[in-house]
Structure 1
């Protein structure tokens, strides 16, 4: 009975949406930043614009209906409830594919690629999609004990695919999804035939620093910038997730300010997050943190597994798509040391950290190309 997979329908009580509106109305705002850019964090004017739309123009029921129409399910694995979308392709011979989101993302990142992957017009390779919410994220359960790091999550995804009747499948991920998917590859989780990453993790060797190539210089510069200016959120979440969690769970404005900044910093844009993502896309994703109150539980993954963002040797087939505005780019030279069977490397001309979200058509093409090599 514990292995039962049951349909899950989102039906957020209106009282919960009314509470959100009340909290926005009662928000206490800080003064404006003393700079004319995003260098001190989310600017007051930009956040008030987003929050104003959240309060008066945004329609959660549209997003709720879309998720329900796609097909949502829950199952209990190792005592924890896992919520996931399962979208079967209408085409015979579709390849089963599990895709994992990261922070501060959710399954919302994949909304623009579902149709292209499951039901391609040109009869190209199609996929059966499994899109789980990470433990402590979205409407999955929140771990009540330690131990739910990326290695365990990778094994859990293997059990999920097995329960769905898939004995041979492939996996994809970026951000935490990259760490989970890498863990699947390292552990050779039963059934996995290969993986695709849009944020592979690699590190330089001392000799790389003596005469670095342009790609290595870019990667080293990005790593230094991340450490100096962009990693405050991760330091807080990997050391004191509970402390930051109180504000993220209690205040919609605080949660939005914390996450919205990454939509600016991590997308390929011309100065505004809205160059890459719409207000509705950003707020659909934000609701996946606000409604289930996952500000603390999602942050705990950093406490559990931040050390897992490290190079690991993988013998399974690996494919990589490298997007130019990735926050921590890895040159192919570094990746090849660990990926013993690198079957595809795609250098993309635009796009940032949220690959599927920002560049859905290019993402779909890359996955078709990559996984065709793993059939």
Structure 2
């Protein structure tokens, strides 16, 4: 362990940044909206204006900043990159260390609700013996980490060094979703002697290298649904994977533009039945947006898509068959995910030891349904610690 590398960190956004934000919000030049478009052509204009009014008149960043600062934040230089992370110790005997990796367009904020559910499960109806030491980093290019865009594979190397060389854990568990799935799977593939188990909400889409005839009917249906999703909802990914810099100019300059870009995904990818606030309050939506705004990381964050794409197409020669993860894996399938994951596809790609079909929740499960997510994660790792013999 190299504690000298670790520095306590406190979120403290300069007042000038908040004043500037308010001035920009007041000067918003609203565009025309097609009558009756709703969410069908992108972010709903009426709701966005309602959200921005709340942002101007009622939202209190300092309140949420103080709440986030209740966690123990640190920074450390890892592989030459300054990494921000939360590190909360478990309250039970012999807690399992676990690193949680967010995606886009969320941030470390994705996991803030479940941290106490994992560090102190007894308080939430669980067992003290199922507690975790929880590490929640901001990926490079996101939040309060250094503005350096990296591939998911490179981030996995940083995480391995953070957990072992910096924090001193010889073995650890991992969990993630969205871009965090790739990071978590890569950790399990490259550092299988250190990673005791992983917990995922997706295992990756088919990439065209599969033997279609060998897939089960459920997998073939899933592959078709994934392809349809790319055609109808995947344009953001193509833009961020090819020309992120063009996008970054506008989103870093306009808080309303940034809000619209992020809000659309929060709406589309969550289990909200047409009303986004059934899953996220205005305060939660804005706080997630604020983490991008006050750190000016939307540009470096979306560049991660470009880095990943280049690794596959520019230098990697095109998609390769997915390497199967042999580390024990738990998977939760949520009904409002981008495409609902069938068990057979999970079994094909990971060493599946636990699979739960969830009754509700979507792509941002730790924020949407934190109790369901945290409880199932605890169950999976409890099964790993105390296997039931047949």
Q: TM-score range by the shorter chain?
A: over 0.9
Deviation, 1:208, is 5.7
Aligned pair partner of 2:140 in 135, 139, 147? 135
**Change in 2 beyond 3 A, CA 1:16/1:151:** same
Q: In structure 2, what is the equivalent of residue 206 of structure 1?
A: 212
**Change in 2 beyond 3 A, CA 1:221/1:127:** same
5 Å-filtered alignment, 1:199-348, equals 199-203=202-206, 205-207=211-213, 212-213=217-218, 216-217=220-221, 219-220=222-223, 222-306=225-309, 307=312, 311-339=322-350, 341-348=351-358
**Change in 2 beyond 3 A, CA 1:310/1:5:** farther
For residues 86 and 371 of structure 1, the distance between their equivalents in structure 2, rounded to whole angstroms, comes to: 19
**Change in 2 beyond 3 A, CA 1:310/1:96:** farther
Q: In structure 2, what is the equivalent of residue 354 of structure 1?
A: 364
- Asked if structure 2 preserves the Cα contact closer than 8 Å seen for 1:3 and 1:77, the reply is no
Deviations 1:327-354 (A, max 9, x none): 1333221221222x21111111111000
Q: In structure 1, what is the equivalent of residue 24 of structure 2?
A: 23
Unaligned runs of 5+ in 2: 313-318, 386-390
5 Å-filtered alignment, 1:102-141, equals 102-121=103-122, 122-124=126-128, 125-141=130-146
- Asked if structure 2 preserves the Cα contact closer than 8 Å seen for 1:102 and 1:176, the reply is yes
| Superposition TM-score, scaled by structure 2 size | 0.90
Deviation, 1:319, is 1.0
After TM superposition, the structure 1 stretch with the greater mean CA deviation from structure 2, 269-278 or 296-305, is: 269-278
For residues 188 and 227 of structure 2, the distance between their equivalents in structure 1, rounded to whole angstroms, comes to: 28
**Change in 2 beyond 3 A, CA 1:207/1:221:** closer
- SS of 1:54's equivalent in the other structure is helix
For residues 70 and 280 of structure 1, the distance between their equivalents in structure 2, rounded to whole angstroms, comes to: 19
RMSD of aligned Cα (Å): 1.9
Q: In structure 1, what is the equivalent of residue 183 of structure 2?
A: 180
Q: In structure 1, what is the equivalent of residue 152 of structure 2?
A: 150
- SS of 1:374's equivalent in the other structure is helix
For residues 328 and 85 of structure 1, the distance between their equivalents in structure 2, rounded to whole angstroms, comes to: 30
Deviation, 1:229, is 1.8
Unaligned runs of 5+ in 1: none
Deviation, 1:202, is 4.7
- SS of 1:154's equivalent in the other structure is helix
Q: Paired residues, what number?
A: 368
Q: In structure 2, what is the equivalent of residue 367 of structure 1?
A: 377
- Asked if structure 2 preserves the Cα contact closer than 8 Å seen for 1:2 and 1:76, the reply is no
Deviations 1:150-189 (A, max 9, x none): 1111111111111112111100000011110011112125
Deviation, 1:304, is 0.9
Deviations 1:283-309 (A, max 9, x none): 111111000111110001000114489
- Asked if structure 2 preserves the Cα contact closer than 8 Å seen for 1:201 and 1:309, the reply is no
**Change in 2 beyond 3 A, CA 1:225/1:47:** farther
